[in-house]
A and B are shown apart, each in its own frame.
Chain A
Amino acid sequence: MPDWLTSSAELILESERAANLGRALLLLALGLVLGRVLTRTLAALAGRFMGPARAKVVQNMAWYAVVFVVITSVLRELNFDLSVLLGAAGVLSVAIGFASQTSASNVISGIFLLVERPFEPGDVIEVDSVTGEVLGIDLMSVRLRTFDNLFVRLPNESLIKARITNLSRFPLRRVDIPVGVSYDSDLEHVRRVLERIASDEPLVLQEPAPVFNVKSLGDSAVLLSFNVWVVRDDFLAARAKVIQRILVAFREEGIEIPFPHQVEIQK
């Protein structure tokens, strides 16, 4: 083959490669920009129906899908043989699949959590022994801030299996206060004193009405339960105030709260 023909063919090939590269770069840039616009629009639409936290997850999932499609297209534009690549990816994905079972489980659990909506960001939840405010819900995990200001990451997989108590779902909460009084106490008198406490404490709701119950006869005290309803946000303050009032009122009314005594006898 004459030299001029060889060099011309090389030149054509070079220019074709350059054109492919240019197209690939253009595709990459356009794909990512359009993908960003598309996913943001999708998130805005989703946000109207499912709230900002879930919309963010939808946006992330859509973004990963867009990135996958764009990269595949770019590689094809660069004349990569995708069948080989996908074949390798198939083998690789089996290996990765075994290695990332937990992550996949977390993602699937995350999707279930997003659909089921047992809690929202801002809610206070109790999971096993952890209680805290939900900071965010992601595909892999839920982030909590505990009341002693610790950051806790809970994998979605564990949340699906665990018992979740949402402390913020309903506007009211019941404060259960166990009370023990001596066997000498007049229980009707105790009932009247507790009713007065509930009536005098502004944080205690008058409806649903407070409930007084005799629970059992303990070793050293008659065990009672005193249940009052409060607004959810007043729970801790109301509990503290009612207990303080019980102590003061029982002292004033001569109602004894028995407690264990230790007597040391020296021989």
Chain B
Amino acid sequence: MSPWWTSIELGEEQAALWRAGSVDLWIRRDAHEWRIAVDRSAAREDEEVQVLHPADRWPEEGAGIEVVRFGSDRTSPALRVVPVLAPRPVVCRPEQPFRLLPQTEVTAFVGCPLWLRVIAEGGALEFEVDLHRPSGTWFGPDTQSGELCFANRTRLHLRRERLKHSPLRATTRLLLHNRTDQVLTLSQFKLPAPSLDLLVDSDGSFWSQAIEVGFERGGSAEIEVLPSRDPRRVQVLSPARLPRGHGRLISALSHVLG
């Protein structure tokens, strides 16, 4: 069976439905119009994504259902719905603040929220739906300067098994090096999600590119996006939203840890 993010063809006056957690994403193609409906009212325990193609009905448009329409002189049948990483950085926190001892390194894992991106008309039509309704959070020294981010609902863990498996999240591996001579308190971490590729492995699990962060003497942090360990087992599903320069990025420690 082909994975749910593969391209499909939608006939005229046909609709398809993607069920992903509490989100129902309906897409309908007419001769001159694409219609997308998002219903967030579903209460499902099962988070596996299901695709109903063609869907046998169209939801009753009304309260609680967000409908978006795109007009075109002639619609074409190719349609793809792919997962993508967050459009803003994601702030992750450990369950309790933990301290990283001097001159040590640890590997941590965190689950990142995913969005669904609808692509049609050769990329001219793009529409995104968040799957988790993430809250915003402010990352900065005060309320005058900083950056608007998403607050991650999952916690940072040192063992991957402790992350609750979800097909609607991507896992990010973080290599944290404390290269200073002082104990470093890690109460939060800003993950640059828009600068990371979304990958899928041969098991169908989603990963973001791993990140290596070196905390240096003098209050700076060296951030590097790592290549995938085994390129034969993973493939890039959605490239990073933001262009990423080559090499390492040097940033103030406060820009990474708050």
Chain A contact residues, CB within 8 Å of chain B:
170-172, 199, 201-208, 229, 231
- Tell me the B126-153 residues at the A interface (CB within 8 Å): 133-139, 143-144, 146, 148, 151
Chain A residues closer than 8 Å to B135, beta-carbon distance: 199, 201-202, 204-206
Q: Judge whether B148 and A203 touch: CB under 8 Å.
A: no
Q: Least Cβ distance of B175 to chain A in Å?
A: 25
Taking chain A's interface residues, is the majority helix, strand, or loop, or is none over half, making it mixed? loop
Assembled-state Cα–Cα distance A201/B136 (Å): 9
Assembled-state Cα–Cα distance A52/B188 (Å): 41
Q: Interface residues of B, CB < 8 Å — how many? A: 13
9 contacts between A and B (CB under 8 A): A172-B138, A172-B143, A202-B135, A203-B136, A205-B135, A206-B151, A207-B137, A207-B138, A208-B143
Assembled-state Cα–Cα distance A203/B138 (Å): 12
Given A202-B135, A206-B151, A231-B148, 9 other A-B contacts at CB below 8 A?
A: A171-B146, A199-B135, A201-B135, A202-B134, A203-B136, A205-B151, A206-B135, A206-B136, A229-B143
Chain A residues closer than 8 Å to B148, beta-carbon distance: 171, 231
Chain B residues closer than 8 Å to A172, beta-carbon distance: 138, 143
Assembled-state Cα–Cα distance A205/B146 (Å): 13
Contact with B137, one of A170, A171, A201, A206 (Cβ below 8 angstroms):
A206
Q: Least Cβ distance of A206 to chain B in Å?
A: 4
Assembled-state Cα–Cα distance A206/B150 (Å): 9
Assembled-state Cα–Cα distance A157/B148 (Å): 38
**Nearest CB in chain A to that of B144: its residue:** A170
Instruction: Using A202-B133, A202-B134 as known contacts, say yes or no to A207 and B139 having CB atoms under 8 A apart.
Output: yes
Assembled-state Cα–Cα distance A204/B148 (Å): 12
Chain B residues closer than 8 Å to A171, beta-carbon distance: 143-144, 146, 148
Assembled-state Cα–Cα distance A201/B151 (Å): 12
Chain A residues closer than 8 Å to B133, beta-carbon distance: 202
Chain B residues closer than 8 Å to A204, beta-carbon distance: 135-136
Assembled-state Cα–Cα distance A35/B209 (Å): 60
Chain A residues closer than 8 Å to B146, beta-carbon distance: 171
Q: Judge whether A208 and B136 touch: CB under 8 Å.
A: no
Q: Which 4 A-B pairs have the closest CB atoms?
A: A206-B151, A206-B137, A207-B137, A172-B143
Assembled-state Cα–Cα distance A206/B136 (Å): 6
Assembled-state Cα–Cα distance A113/B95 (Å): 50
Chain B residues closer than 8 Å to A205, beta-carbon distance: 135-138, 151
Q: Judge whether A208 and B134 touch: CB under 8 Å.
A: no
**Nearest CB in chain B to that of A172: its residue:** B143
